[in-house]
Chain A
Amino acid sequence: MGIEGPSGSVTKGRRRVSEVDPVGAGDGPGTVETPGSVVEVRTSASASLIPTIRAVASDLAARADFDLDAISDLRMAVDEACATLVDVAAPGSSLRCTFDVREELIRVHAEVDTGDAATPVSTDTFGWRVLQTLADEVELEANGSGTVGIRLHKRADAAPR
């Protein structure tokens, strides 16, 4: 799948202040992502860049030692959230996706600018229903201020279905 258009940026930084992981994280080179890390991915709001974002989600979950189903679920949930947002994004705007890697939990916040002619995000779709099933918690943020966001949590152990 080709990746085109203006390139996105991936930035990673330590969480502020006392969010440092109390347990022994990082028991070897390249093993487990330190809990308390924040990873932010910004791309143009284009469906062609979603594969990149979901790959980041999948990689973070694997490094945070999520079980394989939970990794799969997070990848799909992030894909779904991003696809939903790209649909309503203003032309030429960007998609901002933040991953907050905690102990046994990843919090994701994705957001786009909708411009003036805001198309409302409907939660009456198959996609939204799937998103609710995949994520442990999901919330739509539409406050009419020209941006729409989706916030979701995924725990490291997938709930048995």
Chain B
Amino acid sequence: MHVLVVDGEVDTLTAPTLGEALGALLEQEPTDAVAAVDLDGVGFLASSGLAVLIRAAHRAEAQGRALHLLGGSRAVTRPLEVTGSDRLFTLLPGLDELLGRVHGDRSTGRVRRPD
């Protein structure tokens, strides 16, 4: 599993950097089913940033895996919702939920055996 962590503002200046990092992320072990981008530290997401995320989602899809986006600040969710591009990704609140989903979260998903 690979998680790319992004902090700061993603706009026309920084989107190419994000694009490069996403490219590198998707180069890693394409057989691995999970590729995730942690956007919890992102305070602004412009259309240029959305465009690189969308491209990465399609590339991941072509590899047969889903791109997970983590982090639920309004600055990220609003642009995704408004453009309808939220459906291209698997959106999760944070790393904990991703790990829980991938590995099974024993603290919440645990089924107690009857005595």
Query: Do A and B interact directly, with beta carbons closer than 8 Å?
Result: yes
Interface, chain A (partner B; CB < 8 A): 1, 47-48, 50-51, 54, 68-69, 72-73, 75-76, 79-80, 83, 86, 126-127, 129-131, 133-134, 161
Nearest residue (CB) in A for B79 is A76
B13 and A72 within 8 A (CB): no
A130 and B47 within 8 A (CB): yes
B111 within 8 A of A: no
Nearest residue (CB) in A for B54 is A126
Contacts of A131 in B (CB 8 A): 47
Q: Mostly helix, strand, loop or mixed at chain A's interface? A: helix
Contacts of A83 in B (CB 8 A): 11-12, 46, 48
A130 and B44 within 8 A (CB): no
**Size class of B's contact patch?**
20 to 34
Nearest residue (CB) in A for B46 is A79
A72 and B11 within 8 A (CB): no
Extra contacts, 20 of them, besides A54-B44, A79-B12, A83-B48 (Cβ < 8 A), are: A1-B14, A47-B12, A48-B13, A51-B9, A51-B11, A72-B78, A76-B45, A76-B78, A76-B79, A79-B44, A126-B47, A126-B50, A127-B47, A127-B48, A127-B51, A129-B83, A130-B79, A130-B83, A131-B47, A134-B82
**Residue from A1, A48, A72, A80 having most chain B Cβ neighbours under 10 A:** A72
Select which of A1, A68, A73, A86 is within 8 A of B82 by beta carbon: A73
Select which of B12, B14, B45, B51 is within 8 A of A126 by beta carbon: B51
Nearest residue (CB) in A for B11 is A79
Contacts of A80 in B (CB 8 A): 46-47
Q: How far is the CB of B91 from chain A (nearest CB, A)?
A: 15
Q: How far is the CB of B57 from chain A (nearest CB, A)?
A: 14
B81 within 8 A of A: yes
Q: How far is the CA of A80 from the CA of B11 in the complex (A)?
A: 9
Per CB-CB distance, the 6 closest pairs between chain A and chain B, nearest first, are A130-B47, A83-B12, A72-B78, A127-B47, A79-B46, A47-B13
Nearest residue (CB) in A for B50 is A130
Contacts of B47 in A (CB 8 A): 76, 80, 126-127, 130-131
